[in-house]
Amino acid sequence: MLEFRTDPSRYKHWKLAVEGRVATLALDVAEGGGLFPGYELKLNSYDLGVDIELADAMLRLRFEHPEVGAVVVTSAKDRVFCAGANIRMLSGATHGHKVNFCKFTNETRNAIEDASVHSGQVWLAAVNGACAGGGYELALACEKILLIDDGSSAVSLPEVPLLAVLPGTGGLTRLVDKRKVRRDRADFFCTTEEGLRGKRAVEWRLVDEVVPRSRFTDTVAARATELAAQSARPAGESGIALPPLARAIDGDRIDYDTLTLRIDRERGAVEIIVKGPTDAPPYDVAVAKRQGAAFWPLSLARALDDAILHLRFNEETIGTWVLRSEGMLDAVAAYDALLARDSSDWFIREATLYLKRVLKRLDLSARTIFGLVEPGSCFAGTLAELLLAADRVYMLDGSIEGDNRPPARVRLTPMNFGAYPMVTGLTRLKARLQDDATAIADAAARIGEDLDAAEAEKLGLATFTPDEIDWEDEVRLAIEERAAFSPDALTGLEASLRFPGPETMESKIFARLSAWQNWIFQRPNAVGPAGALKRYGTGQRPEFDRGRV
């Protein structure tokens, strides 16, 4: 079973150091430290395990180090920054693992960009050696790139000429959308094995600065100090420790403090039951900080994040995720009020941004998502985002005889109107309502109200509203029907329908680029017996089917 919980004491591949306002993450990959047998992580190449540590370090920097305003990513090895994803690992991995690996890596890179843009914790890549493929894509995720000028170190995206695949963690998109590299230059760059260095790399906007080896360390320190000085992160605040995430697995049941998963293998489904807060929210931010990782929104974000990743990688055949909730609408809405009121505080901001990223991870998961609103549900505000992320929502109309729990209701709060944008930049409510200004205004007019099934359906928050007689049968049939369809067709259907409207750099990475990479990873030119991934490093040239599809 793949494990996503870690901490710096268990890192094999990264060295994290904090000095004042600047943190340094140095990549020092242990060659024999791969997640699976059959490959060595040479030249600072990486597999999923390396990226799990990076994601953990990124999260800890945001919560445990509020004083840090700049993060330097560099290499602890001489003359090599990062050679990208390990080719032997990719060659031997299942198709599903390759796709999930690329998706997780993309999400981690996007989280780095989110830190630079929204948290005031700006990332700088100090490229002190050869930088290829996914290594350059890591640098591209940073706001600034400094390249050592030593006559040999270069940046490159050699996937097309060497491996017959694409830069799968956003390289193509970040080149043209973020770095503003002209597409003719990008075309040349992405078909050149050796890459570019020196003045041309700066002129083409591939890097921001090239620095001689003699001045590299000092220049990196100066640039990081400048970035940190511009940050609004509080220098005098104490961080919020992230202790090990509590999780108990008992057969097909998984329990967290704020979440329970119940897997039904016969139907290929899992119930994800979110537990609403049991107490009123802290009366001010200081109390919230004393709660630390137990602060309900942060505790929920950590649990849901781990659960999504566990299901993605360890339960590939569980294709339907059924979202339920238990608790009081008032309690969830009270936490939303705190998040909105104190959004300028660094800790509240980080908790909200973490929830935003986890909700995006839910959107991007290749699984059917159904939401069930029943008596005792607490889908208010932040938790209502789970319903808005669902492919369908079933909401009970009326009550169930003998059930004395509060009736099925949904409540919108101001948090549904901008705090948690999707990768497209739209709120889930706008995406659900097709950006219909009248429908959105109607929904906004009902903020704070407890909406029954008829009202929720009218506002577009519920898909079907069966009564007590039909409830169990309709839900059961929907889940069983889903299990009868092709998982491949469902993945394409859901990914297409979830993201209407505009495109952004982030949506292009997951939609356009990921879709192409997914397809290319199955083609014989890449993974066939004579494909580029299989023959890489053997001295034999790959054999390509020359037909264009």
522 by DSSP, 3-state: which?
coil
Give the residue ranges of DSSP H helices in 65-212: 87-92, 95-114, 134-141, 159-163, 171-173, 183-189, 198-203
Write down the domain spans for the chain.
8-229, 248-497
Tell me which amino acid residue 158 is.
Answer: P
pLDDT at 514: 83
pTM: 0.96
Q: Read off the pLDDT of each residue in 150-171 and give the average, rounded to a whole number.
A: 93
Cβ pair 124, 230 in contact under 8 A? no
**512 pLDDT exceeds 90?**
no
Which band of pLDDT confidence, cut at 50, 70 and 90, is reported for residue 518?
confident
Residue written as token pair 């790959």:
542
Q: What confidence score (pLDDT) does residue 20 get?
A: 96
Between CA 374 and CA 331 the distance in angstroms is: 17
Q: What percent of the chain has pLDDT over 70?
A: 100
Which of 218, 234, 188, 521 shows the shortest CA–CA distance to 349?
Answer: 234
| Confidence at residue 75, expressed as pLDDT on a 0 to 100 scale | 98
Q: Which two tokens stand for residue 498?
A: 């979830």
* pLDDT tens per residue across span 278-330: 999 999 999 999 999 999 999 999 999 999 999 999 999 999 999 999 999 99
Helical packing angle, 95-114 and 296-314, nearest 10°: 150
CB 123: neighbour CB atoms within 10 A?
24
Give the pair of three-digit tokens for residue 390: 């669902």
Pick among 1.10.3720.10, 3.40.1550.10, 3.30.360.10, 3.90.226.10: CATH of 8-229:
3.90.226.10
HEC profile of 36-66 = CCCCCCHHHCECHHHHHHHHHHHHHHHHHCC
Three-state DSSP state, 513: helix
Report whether pLDDT(422) > 90: yes
Give the whole-angstrom CA distance, residue 68 versus residue 244.
22
**Strand pairing category for 253-255 and 248-250:** antiparallel
**DSSP H helices in 409-486:** 428-432, 437-444, 453-459, 471-484
Question: What pLDDT is attached to residue 507?
Answer: 93
First to last CA, the chain: 37
State the Cα–Cα distance between residues 106 and 269, nearest whole angstrom: 26
Question: What CA–CA distance (Å, rounded) separates 419 from 342?
Answer: 13
* Cβ-contact 428, 419 below 8 angstroms: no
d(C-alpha 18, C-alpha 70), whole Å: 10
The correct answer on CATH 3.30.420.40 for the domain covering 248-497 is: no
Helix axes 48-64, 95-114, angle to 10 degrees: 20
Mean pLDDT for the chain? 96
Is there a contact between 206 and 181 (Cβ–Cβ < 8 Å)?
yes
Instruction: Write out the H or E segment, with its range, that includes residue 286.
Output: helix 285-291
Render pLDDT for 328-382 as a digit per residue (tens, 0 to 9): 999 999 999 999 999 999 999 999 999 999 999 999 999 999 999 999 999 999 9
What is the band of 511 on the pLDDT scale with cuts at 50, 70, 90?
Answer: confident
Q: Do domains 8-229 and 248-497 have the same CATH topology?
A: yes
Res. 549 pLDDT band, cuts 50 70 90: confident
Question: How many whole angstroms from its chain centre is CA 475?
Answer: 29
Q: Helix 95-114 to helix 346-363 angle, to the nearest 10 degrees?
A: 150
The rounded distance, in Å, linking the Cα atoms of 393 and 491 is 18
> pLDDT tens across 104-122, in order?
999 999 999 999 999 999 9
CA atoms within 13 A on the CB side of 11: 22
3-state helix, strand, coil split of the chain in percent (to 5) is: 45, 15, 40
